[in-house]
Structure 1
Amino acid sequence: MSEPISIDIWSDIACPWCYIGKRNLEAGLASTAGDPDAPQVEITFHSFELSPDTPVDFDGDELDFLAGHKGMAREQVEQMLSHVTKVAAGAGLQYRFDLLQHTNTVKAHELLHFAKAKGLQHEMEERLMSAYFTEGKHVGRVDDLVALAVEVGLDADETRSALESAEYLDAVRADQAQARAYGINGVPFFVIDGQYGVSGAQPPEAFENVIRDIWAQKQGVAAEA
């Protein structure tokens, strides 16, 4: 039996294309699940901060942030957000940029590493992205993060202790250092089986094809062994 395909994903929970990319990957994997010899995968999320200088409590909406941070005209920002909202809808996601609370995401990344240690990283990743993009919840403050962590089954006191002590900050920084070593400048970025890099929110079919190709190669090697 071949070893599962590793899929390492560098993303930021405040990245709209990362959530779309996550959904597209899931759709691609769902398409392979019915194969006679369905590919086995192991997915790990890694930290990437798009805007590490963002304050926890940003005074303004997403239009204000992007217009100021990227030096874009508000009309241009509105067009960009309209486009990504339509793409997200195609992936089954209902983005609400009118509700979104822009914030610093380092604590959210620490929470993801804590959740990983407890075997709940995937559930925490989904909960954070949904809270941020579709529900307008704050994901930068400890109290808010603890509440979301409890929803996926994490202990409130343990979560609060991990976040307040910055227990997993080194793990966040290690992910970021690895991203720099790989030359990753934007997210989402998928490293598949340690050898193939896939950049951006590719369509489900792209993930489906590369996963099938790699699995076939691994099966061939296993058969020769």
Structure 2
Amino acid sequence: MTVEWRAFELRPEGKSGMTPEQEARYRQMIEHHWPRTIEMGRLYGVEMRTHRWGINTRPAHEGGKFARAHGKGEAYDRAVFHAYFVDDRDIGDVDVLTEIAASVGLDADAFREALETHRYLDEVLADEAWAAQAGIHGVPAFLFAGRYLLSGVRPPEELRMAIEQVQHLLARETQE
């Protein structure tokens, strides 16, 4: 089994489309669930302390496409997550992202130029369109065999059981 990372913006370009009242309730819900999110992160070895609100994450996703194209996708993703969830940095800021890119060994000038010209924007938008078509509305989301969707943070054992169930279903299908 392989894992394929795709760009997904919870709030494209920082816009929620919600009324101020809905926005306040949504934020309250996120804050209520934040301790569980932190705990689930620990189960997977992911440190999370903060949660900056209202960031335009599209530049970070575009940067991720650049990083993957240059063999540094995993290092870049980890550094961006750390900058956002631990250091409370604005991962929508090109200067911040360029500093992160350089720290993982990417060419800073080429990275900045790619963000400023939106070289990878079409790839990010294609990922978002794919997610919408697949019925994905939140993160994390796991789509197995192109049709079995599991959404939300899950304990490792629950995720393992879901993978085993899908493998069993697929094995049965090939026997029929």
Q: Same fold (TM over 0.5)?
A: yes
- Residue 72 of structure 1 and its aligned partner are, at CA, apart by 2.2
Contact 1:101 1:137 in 2 (8 A): no
Once the two structures are superposed, residues 4-47 of structure 1 have per-residue CA deviations (whole angstroms, 9 ceiling, x without a partner) of x1xxxxxxxxxxxxxxxxxxxxxxxxxxxxxxxxxxxx222111
Distance 1:87 1:186 in 2: 13
Distance 2:123 2:94 in 1: 18
- Residue 163 of structure 1 and its aligned partner are, at CA, apart by 0.7
**Alpha-carbon distance change, 214 to 185 in structure 1, aligned in 2, over 3 angstroms:** closer
Query: How do 1:1-225 and structure 2 match up within 5 A?
Result: 5=1, 42-54=2-14, 68=20, 70-72=22-24, 77=28, 80-81=30-31, 83-92=33-42, 93-97=47-51, 100=52, 102-213=54-165
Contact 2:13 2:58 in 1 (8 A): no
Contact 1:67 1:73 in 2 (8 A): no
Residues 129-138 or 170-179, more deviating: 129-138
Once the two structures are superposed, residues 31-87 of structure 1 have per-residue CA deviations (whole angstroms, 9 ceiling, x without a partner) of xxxxxxxxxxx22211111122428xxxxxxxxxx994843269x82x752541354
What SS does the corresponding residue of 1:197 show, helix, strand or coil?
A: strand
Contact 1:189 1:197 in 2 (8 A): yes
Distance 2:24 2:98 in 1: 34
Runs of 4+ aligned structure 1 residues displaced above 6 Å come to 216-222
Identity of aligned residues (%): 32
Distance 2:89 2:21 in 1: 21
Distance 1:130 1:190 in 2: 22
Supply the AA of the counterpart residue of 2:80.
L
Distance 1:80 1:181 in 2: 25
Distance 1:90 1:149 in 2: 27
Q: Which ranges in structure 1 are unaligned for 5 or more consecutive residues? A: 6-41, 56-65
Question: In the alignment, what sits opposite 1:22?
Answer: none
TM-score, normalised relative to structure 2 = 0.79
Distance 2:126 2:140 in 1: 17
Distance 1:168 1:105 in 2: 14
Residues 82-91 or 148-157, more deviating: 82-91
Q: Which ranges in structure 2 are unaligned for 5 or more consecutive residues? A: none
Report how many residues are paired.
Answer: 169
Distance 1:185 1:43 in 2: 19
The structure carrying a bigger helix percent of its residues is 2
TM-score, normalised relative to structure 1 = 0.63
Supply the AA of the counterpart residue of 1:95.
R
**Alpha-carbon distance change, 111 to 169 in structure 1, aligned in 2, over 3 angstroms:** same
Higher relative contact order (CA 8 A, sep 6+): 1
